[in-house]
Amino acid sequence: MRRSREPSQARRSIRTVIQRRRCTCTQRYRRGSRKPVLSKNPPARRAICAADIHPDHWYPLAWSHEVGRAKAHGVRFASDPIVLVRTESGKVFALEDRCAHRQVPLHAGVVDGESIRYCYHGWTYDCTGRCTDIPYLGRDRLPNGVRAYPCREEAGLIFVFTGDPSAADDAKFPQIVSATDKAYKTRRFGREVKCHYTFMHENLMDMNHQFLHRRQMGSMRARSCGRRRGEDWIEVDYVFAREAGKQPIGEALVFGQTRGTKDEESYKDVMTVRTEYPYQTLKIRTKDDTMVMDLWIAYVPLDAEQRTNRTFGLLSIHRPKIPFVLDAAWPLLVWFTERIFKEDRWIVEREQEAHDRQGADHNHEVFPVIVDLRAFLMERGVPTRAKAALTAGACI
């Protein structure tokens, strides 16, 4: 089957559904409110996995270094195959990963100047997806090409607008500030995690799971001390206290070394975790408002059921006054953060397995922050059935 380049009736009707849903959100929530907004009806058994990620956003689909000059690289977004092409001049564009001739993956093609030429019969496509040459037919009888996706490269990531291309200009592009600021040193990390993207959001926003990391961080207690919500974001503040033991060196490198006991410094650093759909950030600020840590992270579904995501994280640490200290300690920081990420990955994959084994969402959520986050993610996503209808309508 082949995807139509024209919006089908089904696609238009789904878009209408999405627009109606957006209107509902705007009416229910105070725009830019700084006051906490509590859910009146906690979604006790709403199936969080039923919300597919909304495609009308800019998603990172590869690291810049994965797409070398004059190379093509195949990626996926929720099972949609996409080819990223870096031309001989260094520009990047994104097309449907399909040669219009025999429907084979276009990423096996070769870059020819500013175009990609498929390796079989040499059909050639430019950055708009137009077929510009068929060597044995010439340029007079060219067929339709393939879909092109809006594409941008920022902060070492290649972003693709995966939804309706006409919405790309109005869509908010993620602000990734610290990763391009010399005052910070940035670690780029991530890998595939076998769970729905919503479990990733819940994991990062719920800091009450420090017990999971007790071997890495010792005995820590988080206390949520404020939460806010706007139209397309939700955030919570935490402070931490060490209840026993000394601070591990790896943690000191990531979070700073000023933490003490409950009565000392620890309650003065504030961690803010925000889901700004569809991205997430975690920032730690000291009492003088210096941002000592800034994490930007995105979770990109890979399969149609959205049970596997690829995580792209940028962890920026403020450089200390003494030069090179952070560089020297960097391997330890990498080791520490990798251990934490490994533990988180392990538990969210177990959560996904439990969800699928039970065939429904039986989570018993007690933390209001996560109850609200789950409702927020459901509202911003696309119902799975609507996505199925949209896909079916788009096939010819």
Q: How many CA atoms lie within 13 A of 57 on its CB side?
A: 21
CB atoms within 10 A of CB 357: 7
Give the one entry of Fe ion, ligand FES, none that residue 350 binds, where binding means its C-beta sits below a cut-off of 5 to 8 angstroms depending on kind.
none
Q: What are the residues facing 311 on neighbouring strands?
A: 299
Shortest reach from residue 123's CB to ligand FES, in Å: 4
Shortest reach from residue 95's CB to ligand FES, in Å: 13
* Residues 6+ away with beta carbon under 8 Å from 224: 207, 236, 237, 238, 369
- Nearer residue to ligand FES within complex by CB, 53 or 100: 100
Q: Give the pairing type, strands 110-112 and 115-117.
A: antiparallel
**Cα Rg for the chain, rounded, in angstroms?**
23
Q: CA angle at residue 246 from 241 to 247, to 5 degrees?
A: 70
- Shortest Cβ contact with Fe ion: which residue? 344
Shortest reach from residue 100's CB to ligand FES, in Å: 7
Total residues contacting Fe ion by CB under 5 A comes to: 1
- Nearer residue to ligand FES within complex by CB, 135 or 245: 135
344 binds Fe ion (CB under 5 A): yes
- Nearer residue to Fe ion within complex by CB, 110 or 212: 212
Give the one entry of ligand FES, Fe ion, none that residue 120 binds, where binding means its C-beta sits below a cut-off of 5 to 8 angstroms depending on kind.
ligand FES
| Candidate ranges 21-29, 247-255, 341-349, 373-381; the one touching Fe ion (CB under 5 A) | 341-349
Shortest reach from residue 165's CB to ligand FES, in Å: 23
- Nearer residue to Fe ion within complex by CB, 347 or 378: 347
State both tokens at 195.
Answer: 């769970």
Give the one entry of Fe ion, ligand FES, none that residue 346 binds, where binding means its C-beta sits below a cut-off of 5 to 8 angstroms depending on kind.
none
Shortest reach from residue 163's CB to ligand FES, in Å: 27
Shortest reach from residue 362's CB to Fe ion, in Å: 22
**CA distance readout (Å), 351 to 50, 175, 194, 199, 303:** 15, 31, 10, 8, 18
Type of residue numbered 233: W
- Nearer residue to ligand FES within complex by CB, 93 or 123: 123
C-beta of residue 100 within 8 angstroms of C-beta of residue 145: yes
Give the one entry of Fe ion, ligand FES, none that residue 101 binds, where binding means its C-beta sits below a cut-off of 5 to 8 angstroms depending on kind.
ligand FES
96 binds Fe ion (CB under 5 A): no
| Candidate ranges 22-30, 50-58, 214-222, 336-344; the one touching Fe ion (CB under 5 A) | 336-344
Tell me the H-state helices in the chain: 9-28, 197-205, 214-217, 249-255, 325-358, 368-380, 384-393
Angstrom distance (rounded) from CA 310 to CA 192: 4
First vs last Cα of the chain: how many Å apart? 6
C-beta of residue 204 within 8 angstroms of C-beta of residue 274: no
| Candidate ranges 23-31, 111-119, 304-312, 338-346; the one touching Fe ion (CB under 5 A) | 338-346
Give the one entry of Fe ion, ligand FES, none that residue 344 binds, where binding means its C-beta sits below a cut-off of 5 to 8 angstroms depending on kind.
Fe ion
- Nearer residue to ligand FES within complex by CB, 84 or 99: 99
Give the one entry of Fe ion, ligand FES, none that residue 191 binds, where binding means its C-beta sits below a cut-off of 5 to 8 angstroms depending on kind.
none
Shortest reach from residue 217's CB to ligand FES, in Å: 53
Angstrom distance (rounded) from CA 59 to CA 160: 5
Give the one entry of Fe ion, ligand FES, none that residue 99 binds, where binding means its C-beta sits below a cut-off of 5 to 8 angstroms depending on kind.
ligand FES
- Nearer residue to Fe ion within complex by CB, 98 or 201: 201
Give the one entry of ligand FES, Fe ion, none that residue 297 binds, where binding means its C-beta sits below a cut-off of 5 to 8 angstroms depending on kind.
none
C-beta of residue 115 within 8 angstroms of C-beta of residue 106: no
Shortest reach from residue 188's CB to Fe ion, in Å: 19
* Residues 6+ away with beta carbon under 8 Å from 309: 192, 193, 195, 196, 197, 200, 299, 300, 301, 302
Shortest reach from residue 302's CB to Fe ion, in Å: 22
State both tokens at 115.
Answer: 């175009």
Name the residues that contact ligand FES, by CB under 6 A. 99, 101-102, 104, 118, 120-123
**Which residues form the interface with Fe ion (CB under 5 A)?**
344
